[in-house]
Amino acid sequence: MSRPKIALLTVATFMLFLDTTVVNVALERLGAEIGGGVSALQWVLDGYTVALTVGLAAAGSLVDRYGAVPVALLGTALFTAASVVCALAPTFEVLLAGRVAQGLGAAVVVPASLSLITVTYPAGPARSRAVAVWSAVSAVALAVGPVVGGVLVHAAGWRSIFWLNVPVGVAVCAGLAWRSVGGPVRTGGARVDGVGVAILGAALLGCAVVVIDRRPPGPAGLVLAAALLVTATMVLLPRGRVRQNAVLPTALVTRVEVAALLGVGGAAFAGLYAFVFLVPLSDQAAFDRTALGTGAAFLPLTVTLFAVGLVAGRLAERFAERTLVGGGLAAMAVGTGVVGAGLDPSAPWRPLALVLVGAGVTLALTPATIALLRFAGADRAGVMTSTSNLVRNVGGVLGVAVAGWALHAGGTSLPRGAQLVDRVGASLTAVAVALAVVAAVFLLACPPALTRRGLAP
């Protein structure tokens, strides 16, 4: 009886992840219409992701306390209303406010959908397949964003990418309200860790301001951002020992296998978000590709994400996480490096590189998600899902922020021509090297439990 709800929440999840990257191909036209330099364009992306990440810190406890369906209904309604605000925004400030509200609404839908899957399917092949489909849908949404955005911007302007959410959101809300089946409402659960959410929010917002707005300028800003994150982590971990609903559930995240899987998830998102920020920007600004052409060029990535996602659950049942996750990160590194070495979108090797990135993302994330849910169990699936997506989205925020920081290198306007190509190429090369290092560390120092097929809690 919960499966219709899972289908609706999967549709909602697709819409929410789509909105993370659908804006990318509209950035140049959006900046021309409402103003703002590179920093403003980064905030359009990271405003959503920061809000999503902070919201995820509270969302797991809300889902575990009140149930997946009621919380998801509220989140989808907020996201839909915020999409109207974005579509009508007359200024950058109003658009940013709408993007923040979208992120907060999206935050509760993600753990709700996975929590309902965990309650509906017992641990084993059925749950692995369900999680794999959910992961494939999420990954495809991230990758298809530039394609959908390109079509919409070309046909109806940048505001259409937000109007698209409205009928979908209304339909999902109606379906969730009409069908009363779903996960149980657990009103006896622990309350949200408000102090922990505030600490995380302040640290993440501080990191974004430091890196995006270059305060202080130069490498000192990156050092300060890292210090903020480390400090917040050191404050939040002790809270997790005494609070069941803490932002960072210490008993879970300090387990070496969980920590490793969370870390590679954050790295994969950082690499993917930086990639889909830099490449469309380069294709349009340096090579005069249209938004439609830029989006269409991402089709190899999109198709690969979907195709590999369909079999990733079965692969997770047959192979150890070390093989799949480590190999996936390595494939991402190679694909990103190839694109960075030759940015011309008409290069014959571009489609193959996009295939490697798409396959790598899916293989790195889907088995990790399945394993993390095994560790959590049904009772804490919401918290584990929120924690996992929180870490991944922190990676995404930092990926876009640092990519933009490297892109303008002390300037406030977008570089053009050969200068833009050089900076994007160097940034993608740095991303590839970082992913390769993470892959090597994971493969060489992987926890023993992740080197055997069928990870047990």
> Which is nearest to 146 in space by CA: 353, 295, 27, 355?
295
pLDDT of residue 317: 78
Mean pLDDT value of segment 425-443? 91
User: Over 50: is that where the pLDDT of 181 sits?
Assistant: no
What pLDDT score was predicted for residue 352?
93
Examine the pLDDT at 52 and tell me if it is beyond 50: yes
Q: In terms of pLDDT, which residue wins out, 160 or 120? A: 160
pLDDT at 192 over 90: no
Give the confidence band of 411 by pLDDT, cuts at 50, 70, 90.
low
Neighbours of 362 (CB within 10 A): 32
Of 143 and 8, the one with more pLDDT: 8
Q: Is the pLDDT of residue 37 over 70?
A: no
- Position 54 scores a pLDDT of 83
Gap between the Cα atoms of 358 and 143, Å rounded: 8
Which band of pLDDT confidence, cut at 50, 70 and 90, is reported for residue 329?
Answer: very high
Out of 149-153, 315-319, 451-455, least confident range: 451-455
* Cβ neighbours of residue 23 closer than 8 Å, sequence gap 6 or more: 30, 44, 45, 48, 145, 149, 158, 161
Lowest-confidence region among 8-12, 213-217, 341-345, 415-419: 213-217
Cα 51 to Cα 119: distance, rounded to the nearest angstrom: 27
Which one has a higher pLDDT value, 188 or 120? 120
Tokens of 368: 């990790």
| Structure tokens that stand for 166 in this block | 């409205």
Structure tokens at 299: 């089709």
Longest dimension (CA), the chain: 60
Architecture of domain 3-450: Up-down Bundle (1.20)
Q: Which residue has the higher pLDDT, 57 or 232?
A: 232
Q: What is the predicted pLDDT for the residue at 101?
A: 94
Domain ranges of the chain: 3-450
Q: Provide the token pair at 106.
A: 């999206």
Q: What is the pLDDT of residue 123?
A: 64
Task: Supply the pLDDT for residue 440.
Answer: 92
What percentage of the chain reaches a pLDDT higher than 90?
14
Band (379; pLDDT cuts 50, 70, 90): low
Q: Name the pLDDT band for 413 (thresholds 50, 70, 90).
A: low
Q: Is the pLDDT of residue 454 over 80?
A: no
Q: Where does the pLDDT of residue 184 fall: very low under 50, low under 70, confident under 90, or very high at 90 and above?
A: very low
Q: What is the average per-residue pLDDT within 388-407?
A: 80
Q: Quick one: which of 432, 424, 264, 265 has its CA closest to 353?
A: 432
Residue 268's pLDDT is 93
Q: How far apart are CA 427 and CA 406, in angstroms?
A: 7
Which of the two residues, 286 and 348, has the higher pLDDT score? Answer: 348
pLDDT of 106: 86
pLDDT in tens, 93-105: 898 899 999 989 8
Residue 216's pLDDT band (boundaries 50, 70, 90)?
Answer: low
Lowest-pLDDT range, 75-79, 164-168, 194-198, 373-377?
A: 373-377
- Indicate the range of 182-191, 254-263, 302-311, 404-413 predicted with least confidence: 182-191
* Mean pLDDT across the chain: 80
Q: Give the chain's radius of gyration (CA, Å).
A: 20
The residues, any chain, with a CB within 8 Å of residue 439's CB and separated by 6 or more, are 326, 327, 329, 330, 332, 333
* pLDDT grade for 456, boundaries at 50, 70 and 90: very low
Average of per-residue pLDDT across 186-212: 75
Q: What is the pLDDT of residue 185?
A: 47
CA distances, 62 to each of 75, 103, 134, 164 (Å): 11, 16, 21, 28
What pLDDT sits at residue 222? 75
pLDDT digits (tens, 9 = 90+) for 223-248: 888 888 888 888 888 877 777 667 77
CA distance readout (Å), 189 to 50, 60, 177, 455 = 26, 11, 23, 28
What type of residue is 260? Answer: A
The least confident of 58-62, 157-161, 317-321 is 58-62
